[in-house]
């Protein structure tokens, strides 16, 4: 069945630095979604990518969907303390499968 | 405000006891979902429903049961057959299911074994 792998599991970032989290699927996806879960909270939808090679930006966040529609990445520039949380990708072929998430902590 | 309401926030279960987690939405969404989240793991799908009076098993349905008698409500029962029920349970909904549209999540129920 479909599996979505996400790396790294943990990301410790100095405030102001950039980082990237990666998502890989064992199958070709029709689309991919990204969610953010703050500590003690619930996942909140960030964005959906549909087209091969698609790139979308939300302020300091850049989301990319691979050409083969089997991988995706989230790049955050100039990390802030508000970026703390766990970022999940969720790949969709016939149903949504969530990766294990990247938990981000920020050193001020 | 539209949203998803899960109750209770915290729940304790005794050995051999069934417990039911409530999920109500007023977003007029057709599809609803139940996920289980364990520390350091992603969300695993327990059950989902695309329409009233219909539901399908997810990846980890054993030991759980659901019903969908009303569009707004999708309760989850954790039965005594679920041997490791301690987890954070999240309910979600989307306009249609099961994929391709953003899912809206409730605040979750944290279940523990006494």
Mean pLDDT for chain B? 93
What DSSP element (H or E) covers B32? strand B31-37
CA–CA separation, A24 and B86 (whole Å): 29
- Burial of B3-25, coded b for 16+ CB within 10 Å and e otherwise, reads ebebeeeebebeeeeebebbbbb
A97 closest CA partner among A21, A24, A10: A24
Contact call for B100 and A92, based on CB within 8 A: yes
Find chain A residues with C-beta within 8 A of B40's C-beta: 9, 100
* pLDDT tens digit sequence for A26-58: 999 999 999 999 999 999 999 999 999 999 999
Mean pLDDT over residues A2-11, rounded?
Answer: 91
Report the SS3 class of residue B4: strand
Mean pLDDT over residues A10-17, rounded?
Answer: 97
Mean pLDDT for chain A? 95
**pLDDT for the residue A103:** 96
Does residue A63 register a pLDDT over 80? yes
Find chain B residues with C-beta within 8 A of A97's C-beta: 45
Q: What separation in angstroms does the CA of B96 have from each of A10, A95, B13?
A: 33, 12, 33
**pLDDT for the residue A85:** 96
Farthest-apart Cα atoms in chain B, separation: 39
Tokens representing A68 are 């083969």
Output phi, psi for A51, to 5 deg.
-90, 150
Does residue A89 register a pLDDT over 80? yes
Report the SS3 class of residue A86: strand
Closest Cβ opposite residue B42 in set A30, A92, A100:
A100
User: Does A33 lie at the interface with B, CB-CB under 8 angstroms?
Assistant: yes
Q: What is the pLDDT along chain B (114 residues), one digit of tens a residue?
A: 569 999 999 999 888 899 999 999 999 999 999 999 998 778 999 999 999 999 999 999 999 999 999 999 999 999 988 889 999 999 999 998 777 789 999 999 999 988
Output phi, psi for B60, to 5 deg.
-135, 55
Does residue A1 register a pLDDT over 80? no
**pLDDT for the residue B83:** 86
């Amino acid at each position: 069945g479909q599996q979505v792998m996400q790396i790294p599991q943990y990301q410790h970032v100095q405030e102001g630095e950039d980082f990237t989290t990666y998502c890989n699927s064992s199958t070709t996806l029709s689309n991919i979604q990204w969610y953010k879960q703050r500590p003690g909270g619930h996942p909140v939808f960030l964005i959906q990518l549909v087209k091969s090679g698609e790139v979308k930006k939300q302020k300091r966040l850049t989301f990319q969907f691979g050409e083969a529609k089997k991988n995706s990445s989230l790049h955050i520039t100039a990390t802030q303390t508000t970026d703390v949380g766990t970022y999940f990708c969720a790949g969709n072929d016939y149903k949504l499968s969530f990766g294990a998430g990247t938990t981000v902590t920020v050193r001020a | 405000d539209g949203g998803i309401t899960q109750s209770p926030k915290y729940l304790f279960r005794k050995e051999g006891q069934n417990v039911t987690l409530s999920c109500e939405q007023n977003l007029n969404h057709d599809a609803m979902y139940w996920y289980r989240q364990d520390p350091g793991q992603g969300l695993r799908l327990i059950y989902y429903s695309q329409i009233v009076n219909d539901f399908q098993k997810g990846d980890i349905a054993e030991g759980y049961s659901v019903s969908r008698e009303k569009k707004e409500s999708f309760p989850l029962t954790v039965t005594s057959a679920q041997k490791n029920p301690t987890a954070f349970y999240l309910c979600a909904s989307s306009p249609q299911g099961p994929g391709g549209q953003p899912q809206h999540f409730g605040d979750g129920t944290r279940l523990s074994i006494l």
